[in-house]
Amino acid sequence: MLPTLLKCPRVGHKTFENSLPSITVGDANTASQISKIVRAHSSVLDELQMQYQPGELQKADLVAASTMFTHRRFVLQTFENHKQLFKHSACCIFQFQTTIAGSGENFVFGIFITDGDRNLIDYCVDTALAHKRRPVLHRLMRAVCTASSVARRLDH
């Protein structure tokens, strides 16, 4: 599956906007975006058309994802909470971040998870400086996810 590129919206953070001209819907590992497709439990063929048992490819994807994202427990817990959905639907995990000038450390805006149809399943924002992180992440979710799923998740 080839990744899709979406124009990065204005998020109110110039440094981040300049570093990420487009959002990759698919696997990505850059200074501004980390994302990973996790295949459905029912997926049995890899990209080379090799056959696997149901769940094997998903498990391999989850093992890889567990080392990529800042909020590992959130990712694994969300997956566990929605395992019925992910039996037949892939998901994509997105993390957006910027590099702090001077220290070089990552400032993570947050993480969100979508299903294979780009419906927002759940999201996570650190409580520290949440007032700076949340507006940026919400704008990114609106750019990537279906409008109805974002409205359902944010306006409840």
For the cut 80, the answer to whether the pLDDT of residue 156 exceeds it is: no
**124 in Cβ contact with 94 (< 8 Å):** no
- Distance separating alpha carbons of residues 35 and 33, to the nearest angstrom: 6
Specify the pLDDT at position 127: 86
Instruction: Look up residue 84 and give its amino acid.
Output: Q
- Distance separating alpha carbons of residues 84 and 94, to the nearest angstrom: 21
User: Which value, in Å, is the radius of gyration of the alpha carbons in the chain?
Assistant: 16
Q: Is residue 11 domain-resident?
A: no
For the cut 90, the answer to whether the pLDDT of residue 68 exceeds it is: yes
For the cut 90, the answer to whether the pLDDT of residue 93 exceeds it is: yes
Number of domains in the chain: 1
Specify the pLDDT at position 100: 86
Q: Is residue 2 domain-resident?
A: no
Provide the domain limits for residue 48: 21-154
> What ranges in 20-155 are assigned the alpha helix state H?
56-68, 72-81, 130-144, 147-154
Q: Is residue 1 domain-resident?
A: no
Specify the pLDDT at position 155: 74
Q: Which residues lie below 8 Å from residue 148, measured CB to CB, with a gap of 6+?
A: 119
pLDDT tens digits, one per residue of 110-147: 999 999 999 999 999 988 889 889 999 999 999 999 99
Q: Is residue 3 domain-resident?
A: no
Q: Is residue 135 domain-resident?
A: yes
- What value does the mean pLDDT of the chain take? 93
Q: Is residue 12 domain-resident?
A: no
| pTM (2 d.p.) | 0.94
